[in-house]
Structure 1
Amino acid sequence: MKDVAQLTEGWQLSHEGTLLDARVPGCVHTDLLAADLIPDPFLGTNEHDVAWVGRQPWAYRRQLTGEEAHTAAYERTDLVFEGLDTAATLTLDGVELGRTRNMHRSYRFDVTGRTGELNVTFTSAYEEAESVRQLTGDRPNVYPEPFQYIRKMAANFGWDWGPTVVTAGIWRPVRLERWSTARLARVRPLVTVDGTRGRVELHLDVERTAAGADRPLLARAAVAGVTARAEVLGDQATVVLDVPDVRLWWPRGHGEQPLYDVELTLLDAGEPLGVGEQPNTAEQLDVWQRRVGFRTVELDRSADAHGSGFTFVVNGERIFVRGVNWIPDDVLPSRVTPERYRTRLEQTAAANVDLVRIWGGGIYEDEAFYDVCDELGLMVWQDFLFACAAYPEEQPLRGEVEAEARENVVRLMPHPSLVLWNGNNENLWGFRDWEWEEPLAGDSWGEGYYLGLLPRVVAELDPTRAYTAGSPWSGSWDHHPNDPDHGTYHSWEAWNRRDYSEYLANVPRFVAEFGWQAPPALATLRRALPGERLAPDSPGMLHHQKAEDGNGKLNRGVERHFALPEGDFDRWHYLTQVVQARAVAAGIEHWRAHWPRCAGTVVWQINDCWPVSSWSAIDGDGRLKPLHHELRRVYADRLLTLQPGVDGTELVLSNLAAEPWDTDVTLRLLRTDGTVAARVSLGLTVPGREVLRLPVPPQVQPAAGSAKEYLVADAEDLRAVHLPVRDKEFDYPAPRFDIAVETVGGDPDTLDVVVSAQTLVRDLLLQADRLAPRATADRGLLTLLPGERTRIRVRGAAGVGANAIRAALFCVEPA
């Protein structure tokens, strides 16, 4: 049986002639932070003070002892690195083992019988990128950093939401594997289902020692009580398991997520086997174990009256995708533990999300990420790692790209949550619209990867899943890459140049990116900017705003709807968060109302990699923005909205549940003085997975341009509000409300804040982190009508009184 020893201890990092204790897995920055040799790059403007780290060579060392390398019981000892970041030379006892230049691959070296000092010396990523640039020539890039010349996490080089923190190090585990005769070099599981009958085809490659070259080998597999075996002929075999009566894996909200343990064992048969013979004394050589799920996934891109679609079909059911984009959860990714993955993904699922797109400037995430997605029913859209740049296709990059793709396709394909491979982020669009063609002058830029190499790799290795060449992508060069009528669409004009009302101007087939910025929670800002007097343009705030003209866009977004507060940071902070939540809700409500023509939205973005003003719903310290609560509302199975129609406002009920929705809807025309001008009640039924649109009856329609009337629709616990004018033009009454604080169940750490409205109270928000850094509230933005009462559950704010709570409550005020 194979023996495995993890090499986590005994590493040292060389720094200016001295040796520091090094943590593996880790990176140079984490070791320097642990030794107090650099300041935290996340605080203040410290990012500038640590920039030198990414431009230096670094060396890790460790003794490989005779005890570790002892191979008397084994024929072979391999040194395995699951991840090296990035360009490294490895030596053992002064003899070179090999060189690496790809963060996204693993590496294996034969060290049988060898001992001595193991050195891993990293070249600066900048130096490696420049050496490749000299070979390939220049290529266009959205950012002034050379990330397209090195197979490394692009986000390390800064982004419009991330710092420039260029890492180096042994970022994933290292181990010694000792083995004899043969080992499982690769196992490629094809998991399919037909009705209730599942099939698992295990395609395996083995590596043999010289002594094991002619040994008869047997592969034996088991899943759900079904077993099968196959002889290994040469270095390959296929074991097929047909599994009756399997339960289907479903995305969350559509069914359950049953998972099945698969075990494959490689055996030394001892002597040649006759037909039907079982080995008498089979020795176990290696074992491969994974969890799989049985489901079918198709991507319907067929043409129709509106263009060509992009609809996920899981187990034969067409799905409106409720998605979010995911970036690396830390710019130092070795710090993201399995527990942190679970926390972040549980927060994601709590927003009623059912798909997570892993963006192409990050990493192929750790196994723990996909395991949690399998369990939670979060579908995964996996980008190959290309983003916002022209990528050379010459060597040495081309070989690295293919090796990286092959390894990660096979590594990730057991996961039922994985539903799509995507070639790149915005590069096909960039070639057409970002003035790349002229400077490229015919040079390669990545098209050969996205339309050639990568689809061939996926078709060969993982034919059970769809591949799309990019996001956005219309399906062919016959249409503009970002054509809303064909394939996937990125909607950025509203944020960059216009207003979120622009989302209502079209109905894309699938919105793979759109979003709106807001700053993080106040407690996050106070931790990240210690001692700073906060203002929208204070030094730390500007440093933690990486988007081009980001604050200008934030301010213009507020000004279109509200009076921009001058000299009142707390008010500015609240209003930017309101606009972010409203903007994203406006897009989702509109596009969801056009299901099945529009088949999904993927919000940019769910998470952050540091404390920053960004498009995220969960900030860099893990706190929920109001956007997170709004996602939970607009991604719920049942959604009530008021939408503009051809002949006035329309009532829209969207039912993504399988069961019909029988409900009573009350429509009220209200005046700002609190009186009711008209009321209509409707008994409605919305079939499962369908949308119902109805014109609002004329008697409850507010007069066009009225600043004193508004429409409210209520159904069960759902509410929609429509103003005929923008907020700053509306005659809001001065908000008046009473609050009471009640303890819950004798737990001093849990409070109910009871708010009783005397007037219209629009977009009431309790910012719980203002009460205590760890405090949370269970509600986001709320609109109360005169005489209404609501409860907000607060946890983590023991001993807080009514005055402090009132100071943490914000709502819309008259202009």
Structure 2
Amino acid sequence: MTIRADLSDGWVLRLAAPDAPAVPPAVRAALPIPATVPGTVHTDLLAAGLIPDPYLDRNELTLDWIGRVAWVYERDLPAVGDGPVDAVLAFAGLDTVATVSVDGVVVARTANMHRRYEVPVRLPAKLSVRFDSAWDYGEAERDRIGALPNQYPAPFNFLRKMACNFGWDWGPTLVTAGIWRPVTLIRSGEGPRIREVRPSVTVEGAHGRASFDVRLAAPADEATEVTVSVEDILATATLAAGQERVTVEVTVADPDLWWPRGLGPQPLYDAVVRVPGDEWSARIGFRSLRLDTTEDPEGTPFTLVVNGLPVPVRGANWIPDDCFPSRVTADRLHTRIDQAVDAGINLLRVWGGGTYESDEFYAACDARGVLVWQDFLFACAAYPEDERLAAEVDAEARDNVARLMPHPSLVLWNGNNENIWGFFDWDWQQAIADRTWGLGYYLDVLPKAVRDTDPTRPYWPGSPYSGSMERHPNDPDHGPMHVWDVWNTADYTVYREYRPRFVAEFGWQAPPTWSTMTGSLHDDPLTPTSPGMLHHQKASDGNGKLERGLAPHFPVPTDLTDWHFATQLNQARALGLGIRHYRSLRPRCSGTVVWQLNDCWPVTSWAAVDGQGRKKPLWYALRAAHAERLLTVEPREAGLALVAVNDTTASWRVPVTVRRLSFDGTVLAEHRTRFAADRVGAVTVPLPSELTTAGDAARELLVAEADSGERALWFFAEDKDLAYRPADLDARADRDGDDIVLTLTARNLVRDLCVFADRVDPAAEADDCLVTLLPGERRELRVRGVPAGREKDLLAAPVLRTANDLIAGV
């Protein structure tokens, strides 16, 4: 019987060179210390009280030395029985430049954070894992090969490590080392050991087929029966003596199909592979899958088709949820993915500057019907195709494609993030000259790895990429595009000038929630430009872009409280407008993937959920703009039109009333019509001129309401030009068990009401945000986490805010 034991305890951390000059004397004196596995050097030092929290203030700057020295993790491997015993150490992740020694003898050298390794060991033994500086290794490889273009001043493109550890425009420079994923001690009994199983799951007609490529750790000593079960359906095959690989196929008649969320259920089947003395198990799902890129009269679509149905993608980009990934627990992952689901998101793109996520991540997506687009880990740089690095890339790709094969949520492998675009547009070509820069990975090595290992899933060379090196990679008519000139140089209304086939990145910045910001920054005074605030703004001229993007819509506040609210509101407005516009282009545009869902630390960024897991107003805007049945008023060449977008599998056919109102509620014009939006489709209804032409643009709006309850609003001018009156609200706060129910009745137009409950208590949260009330309308909001006696704090500024405040005053 094969026995697997987790080796998470008993580790100590020490310096490889105790006299390393970069190490502060107090740290040197305290080492060695207990180490946590999985973990990192940073988190071990933090747990021991030897360094300050790198996420607070500007502490990041004082901790650069950690990534510049070599570290050693050690532990004893105890005896088993009376004599020496052979075993295997399975490392799920070593970060990054590691030397594994057993009783002082080197048994492995690794230089890839993203691969799994197995090494032999004889028990008892002393195990040592040395981690040399990733900085030193990357810089030495850059010197050996020659520098290549890179959007950030670090050598991350010369080694296989999480690129954003070296700093990004939303993340700190915290170059980690450590045993970042579990270590398992494996002892085999008399029978064979299963090393890997690769399940290929397809649907053909009324039958589901699961083909299991079973690989043993060593050739079988004798004929061995391999049994595979999918629920109660069994299949067997026999491995002859000397063989170590066999394929076993199971056919399931009329399987329950796995669907993306919102389009059907997510049934999962228990699959088990057994050999005498060992077994492997996973949960698999049956679904057909293809990426439709068949050229049409408008160019090249980019449409995921699951079970024959084109999927309307409402996605978000996913970055590592912590700079120290070992801190991302299963509970934290489930919370974050639930936040995605609750925001109407049906696809997460795992971005190429991070990691291949944990098995728990993909399993959570399987269970919730969240599709996963997985980048291979190349981002924003030219990568050498040097023989040493190329071998690592190929092995890494095959390892991770095999590891993730059981998960039905994984629907796309993508070759890189923005590297082909960089080659075209970022002044790289002169510096690259005639050298390789990664294209061979994206067009040859990676697609071959996917094809050889898991041909059931599609591969695309890059994002953005137009399908051919003969076309510009960010061509809106072909494949996925990224829209970043809007944030960098234009007003967010310019989103409406784009008509992409699929938009895989677009975003707008805002600071984190108030409690996250003030809990991590202690500047006195704290201002938009105080030292800590600027340190937690990593984007080039980020604050300048925030204020330039705000100016067309609101006066730019000088007060921190108003600045914080205004920039968060502007972020929500920007992404809401962009998503509604792109969705209104259905079927030309088949999906949106906003940048970004989450953050890895407290920072001003593009995220909807901040580094402490709190929802910014943007999250609520995503939830509204991602409604499965969406009404939106959009400008078209002939004037304003009403667009109904239907992402459900049932047709949506209802009457709709569109009214032009004055801000005091007077009906100025009204139109009653019907629309019919087919399943996963959209319909555009032109609006008559008596509705779309305002008599007084500063004091009027359009309100479209479907009989099924959906509503869309259109204002004829920007906020700064609207004749808002101060919000006049009848507001009441009543406790209902642990919650507070806010009852809000508007006496005049109240736009984008927000309740920033975290300003009362960091754990408090309102169930809605960005609420617009017409005169006389009443709304109830539920707020959780408010301490007793603080109820009335929810009823006034700075907790209760509206867009009216920024124009007409509180």
Superposition TM-score, scaled by structure 1 size? 0.95
Per-residue Cα deviation, 1:745-795 (whole angstroms, up to 9, x for no partner): xx0x20111111111111111111112110011101011111111111101
- The 1:69–1:739 alpha-carbon spacing in structure 2 relative to 1, beyond 3 Å, is farther
Shift of 1:530: 3.5
Say whether residues 1:135 and 2:144 are aligned partners. yes
Say whether residues 1:675 and 2:666 are aligned partners. yes
- The 1:201–1:625 alpha-carbon spacing in structure 2 relative to 1, beyond 3 Å, is same
- Give, in whole Å, the separation in 2 of the partners of 1:532 and 1:124: 36
Say whether residues 1:767 and 2:759 are aligned partners. no
Say whether residues 1:291 and 2:271 are aligned partners. no
Alignment of 1:64-103 (within 5 A): 64-67=77-80, 76-103=86-113
Alignment match, 1:258: 267
Shift of 1:704: 7.6
- The 1:530–1:153 alpha-carbon spacing in structure 2 relative to 1, beyond 3 Å, is same
- Give, in whole Å, the separation in 2 of the partners of 1:213 and 1:648: 73
Shift of 1:647: 2.0
Q: Find the residue that maps to 1:733 and give its secondary structure.
A: coil
Select between 450-459 and 623-632 the one with higher mean Cα deviation.
623-632
Q: Find the residue that maps to 1:50 and give its secondary structure.
A: helix
Select between 251-260 and 626-635 the one with higher mean Cα deviation.
626-635
Q: Is the 8 A contact 1:69 1:115 kept in 2?
A: no
Counterpart pick for 1:658 among 611, 624, 649: 649
AA partner of residue 13 (structure 1): L
- Give, in whole Å, the separation in 2 of the partners of 1:689 and 1:119: 56
Q: Is the 8 A contact 1:655 1:689 kept in 2?
A: yes
Q: Is the 8 A contact 1:129 1:147 kept in 2?
A: yes
AA partner of residue 507 (structure 1): R
Say whether residues 1:191 and 2:201 are aligned partners. yes
Alignment match, 1:37: 50
Counterpart pick for 2:235 among 228, 244, 257: 228
Say whether residues 1:243 and 2:256 are aligned partners. no
- Give, in whole Å, the separation in 1 of the partners of 2:161 and 2:647: 39
Q: Is the 8 A contact 2:740 2:791 kept in 1?
A: no
Select between 582-591 and 685-694 the one with higher mean Cα deviation.
685-694
Counterpart pick for 2:690 among 673, 696, 699: 699
Aligned residues: 787
- Give, in whole Å, the separation in 2 of the partners of 1:615 and 1:626: 12
Alignment match, 1:52: 65
- The 1:343–1:225 alpha-carbon spacing in structure 2 relative to 1, beyond 3 Å, is same
- Give, in whole Å, the separation in 1 of the partners of 2:452 and 2:84: 37
- Give, in whole Å, the separation in 2 of the partners of 1:423 and 1:459: 13
Alignment match, 2:493: 501
Q: Is the 8 A contact 2:760 2:793 kept in 1?
A: no
Alignment of 1:328-407 (within 5 A): 328-407=320-399
Identity of aligned residues (%): 50
Q: Is the 8 A contact 1:199 1:242 kept in 2?
A: yes
Q: Find the residue that maps to 2:413 and give its secondary structure.
A: strand
Alignment match, 1:278: none
- Give, in whole Å, the separation in 2 of the partners of 1:245 and 1:754: 51
AA partner of residue 173 (structure 2): T
Shift of 1:728: 0.8
Per-residue Cα deviation, 1:629-681 (whole angstroms, up to 9, x for no partner): 11111111111111001121111111111112233322221223442212223
Alignment match, 1:555: 547
AA partner of residue 619 (structure 2): H
Q: Is the 8 A contact 2:506 2:593 kept in 1?
A: yes
Shift of 1:117: 2.2
Per-residue Cα deviation, 1:240-266 (whole angstroms, up to 9, x for no partner): 111112100000000000000100012
Say whether residues 1:779 and 2:768 are aligned partners. yes
- Give, in whole Å, the separation in 2 of the partners of 1:328 and 1:300: 29
- Give, in whole Å, the separation in 2 of the partners of 1:133 and 1:384: 21
Give 5+ residue unaligned stretches, structure 1: 267-283
Alignment match, 2:18: none
Say whether residues 1:24 and 2:37 are aligned partners. yes
Say whether residues 1:540 and 2:521 are aligned partners. no
Alignment match, 2:787: 798
Shift of 1:126: 0.5
AA partner of residue 789 (structure 1): R
AA partner of residue 642 (structure 1): V
Q: Is the 8 A contact 2:664 2:775 kept in 1?
A: no
- Give, in whole Å, the separation in 2 of the partners of 1:116 and 1:459: 41
Per-residue Cα deviation, 1:498-548 (whole angstroms, up to 9, x for no partner): 011111102100000001111110011111113643311111111111001
- Give, in whole Å, the separation in 2 of the partners of 1:217 and 1:297: 34
Q: Find the residue that maps to 2:167 and give its secondary structure.
A: strand
Give 5+ residue unaligned stretches, structure 2: 16-27
- Give, in whole Å, the separation in 2 of the partners of 1:304 and 1:582: 33
AA partner of residue 380 (structure 2): C
Alignment of 1:260-659 (within 5 A): 260-266=269-275, 284-530=276-522, 532-566=524-558, 568-659=559-650
Q: Find the residue that maps to 1:479 and give its secondary structure.
A: coil
Q: Is the 8 A contact 1:532 1:540 kept in 2?
A: no
- Give, in whole Å, the separation in 1 of the partners of 2:695 and 2:202: 56
Q: Find the residue that maps to 1:290 and give its secondary structure.
A: strand
Q: Is the 8 A contact 1:617 1:628 kept in 2?
A: yes
- Give, in whole Å, the separation in 2 of the partners of 1:662 and 1:555: 42
Q: Is the 8 A contact 2:629 2:645 kept in 1?
A: yes
- Give, in whole Å, the separation in 1 of the partners of 2:442 and 2:150: 17
Question: How large is the RMSD of aligned CA atoms in angstroms?
Answer: 1.5
AA partner of residue 787 (structure 1): G
Q: Find the residue that maps to 1:303 and give its secondary structure.
A: coil
Shift of 1:71: 5.5
Alignment match, 2:181: 172
Q: Find the residue that maps to 1:328 and give its secondary structure.
A: coil
- Give, in whole Å, the separation in 1 of the partners of 2:326 and 2:792: 42
- The 1:68–1:515 alpha-carbon spacing in structure 2 relative to 1, beyond 3 Å, is farther
Shift of 1:205: 1.9
Shift of 1:811: 0.9
- Give, in whole Å, the separation in 2 of the partners of 1:576 and 1:719: 25
Q: Find the residue that maps to 1:773 and give its secondary structure.
A: coil
- Give, in whole Å, the separation in 1 of the partners of 2:358 and 2:235: 30
Q: Is the 8 A contact 1:162 1:546 kept in 2?
A: yes
